């Protein structure tokens, strides 16, 4: 079968590899679509970070690995002990591989596992392939009626859903989202689903147009001080600000646009050190909250997809797996918002 194999920085190849077979408790999935994101791009351009260069303590895997941690597909087989999935069932893969024994796993916070691995980064065979194998516990059955393209957004939307849950937002909350990439769009749509009012700050005219078409009030940071714009629109600071860009300027802006006693949520991981201005945070008694991955978020996201809460028109495009490098170039140039790769074509 064909697969995208990561060998090292700048070295990802579409190769022919052996087909995997499911072991006990595992399921063979014929991949339908796999999203690529900033994590993949950074692994390829300036990594490795999540791809292990020495055997991973849980999986024993090291590069080269098959990439792909945002996969959906259809059940193509199962190992011993798995008898509750029919062949052809559409499933979304929650890519966390955990030890099940550490204090975090025992408490239910499996996303904080001390030996956490990611399918498609620190396991042998991810979703950028025709077939992949995962443990049954990692699969979520996609409700009927959800198109494959929408189902393929379950993983990144779960990142956004978890961040909103961590923020404490409610129906009467006001929020500012920094960044209109896939996570920023997911934050906006999740907040809207909750009933909160959310502004989105985005410097790219193209991405501002995309999120505005989805119904967001989109602000241009080049049009004037962002804190002034936010206060003019909301009549004061926001209850919550989300940094989904991971830059010094966006974190500083998030602090400045949050009302006293409000919350700043860190969603994006910066690749460079960021100076944190503690004075304004202390003076306003702001709460800083970080959000990592997801914990029980796939189910409510799939419910939201079934209800139409997460529209995909206008910001999601699909390319065949063979065009992986074209897709990466489009993302590098900012000419696409979300790209899904199809290994079947």
Segment 312-332 shows an average pLDDT of: 97
If you search the block for the tokens 């392939």, which residue do you land on?
129
Q: What is the mean pLDDT of the chain?
A: 96
What's the pLDDT at 197? 98
Please choose, from the candidates 66, 56, 79, 88, the residue with its C-alpha nearest in 3D space to the C-alpha of residue 132.
66
Strands (E), the chain: 2-8, 11-16, 26-36, 65-66, 71-78, 90-93, 96-97, 117-118, 131-135, 139-141, 174-178, 197-201, 217-219, 238-243, 258-266, 287-290, 316-320, 338-342
Segment 187-201 shows an average pLDDT of: 98
pLDDT in tens, 6-38: 999 999 999 999 999 999 999 999 999 999 998
Q: What residue segments make up the domains of the chain, in order of their start?
A: 2-153+312-342, 159-290
CATH number attached to the domain at 2-153+312-342: 3.90.180.10
- The percent of residues in the chain predicted with pLDDT above 90, rounded, is 93
What's the pLDDT at 46? 87
Segment 178-201 shows an average pLDDT of: 98
Please give the angle made by the CA atoms of 27, 17 and 76, to the nearest 5 degrees.
Answer: 25
Alpha helices (H) along 195-237 = 205-213, 226-234
For the cut 90, the answer to whether the pLDDT of residue 345 exceeds it is: no
Distance CA 47, CA 293 (A): 19
**Catalytic pick among 42, 59, 89, 318:** 42
What's the pLDDT at 149? 98
Can 89 be counted among the known catalytic residues? no
CATH topology of domain 159-290: Rossmann fold (3.40.50)
What's the pLDDT at 166? 98
pLDDT in tens, 90-142: 999 999 999 999 999 999 999 999 999 999 999 989 999 999 999 999 999 99
- pTM, to two decimals: 0.97
Strands (E), 129-254: 131-135, 139-141, 174-178, 197-201, 217-219, 238-243
pLDDT tier at 158, thresholds 50, 70, 90: very high
Q: Give yes or no for a contact between 321 and 2, defined as CB atoms under 8 angstroms apart.
A: yes
pLDDT tier at 183, thresholds 50, 70, 90: very high
**Catalytic pick among 7, 39, 89, 123:** 39
Q: Give yes or no for a contact between 130 and 76, defined as CB atoms under 8 angstroms apart.
A: no
Can 325 be counted among the known catalytic residues? no
């Amino acid at each position: 079968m064909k697969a995208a194999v990561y060998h090292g920085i700048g070295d990802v190849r579409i190769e022919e590899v052996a087909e995997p077979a499911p072991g006990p408790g595992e399921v063979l999935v014929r991949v339908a679509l796999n999203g690529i994101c900033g994590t993949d791009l950074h692994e390829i351009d300036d990594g490795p970070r999540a791809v292990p260069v020495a055997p991973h303590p849980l999986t024993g895997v090291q590069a080269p690995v098959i990439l792909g941690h945002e996969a959906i597909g259809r059940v193509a087989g199962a190992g011993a002990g798995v008898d509750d999935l029919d062949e052809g069932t559409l499933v979304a893969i929650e890519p966390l591989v955990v030890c099940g024994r550490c204090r975090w796993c025992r408490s239910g916070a499996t996303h904080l596992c001390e030996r956490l691995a990611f399918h498609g980064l620190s396991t042998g065979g991810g979703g950028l392939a025709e077939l992949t194998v995962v443990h049954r516990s990692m699969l979520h059955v996609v409700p009927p009626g959800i198109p494959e393209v929408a189902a393929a957004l379950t993983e990144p939307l779960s990142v956004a859903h978890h961040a909103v849950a961590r923020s404490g937002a409610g129906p009467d909350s006001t929020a500012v989202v920094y960044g209109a990439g896939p996570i920023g769009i997911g934050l906006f749509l999740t907040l809207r689903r909750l009933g909160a009012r959310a502004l989105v700050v985005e410097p790219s005219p193209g991405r501002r147009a995309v999120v505005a078409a989805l119904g967001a009030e989109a602000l241009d940071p080049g049009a004037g001080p962002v804190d002034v714009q936010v206060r003019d629109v909301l009549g004061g600071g926001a209850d919550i600000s989300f940094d989904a860009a991971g830059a010094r300027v966006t974190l500083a802006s998030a602090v400045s646009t949050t009302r006293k006693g409000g919350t700043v949520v860190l969603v994006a991981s910066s690749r460079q050190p960021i100076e944190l201005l503690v004075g304004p945070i202390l003076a306003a008694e702001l709460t800083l909250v970080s959000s990592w991955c997801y914990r029980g978020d796939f189910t409510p996201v799939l419910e939201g997809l079934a209800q139409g809460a997460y529209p995909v028109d206008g910001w999601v495009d699909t390319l065949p797996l063979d065009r992986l490098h074209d897709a990466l170039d489009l993302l590098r140039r900012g000419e696409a918002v979300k790209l899904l790769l199809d290994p079947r074509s």
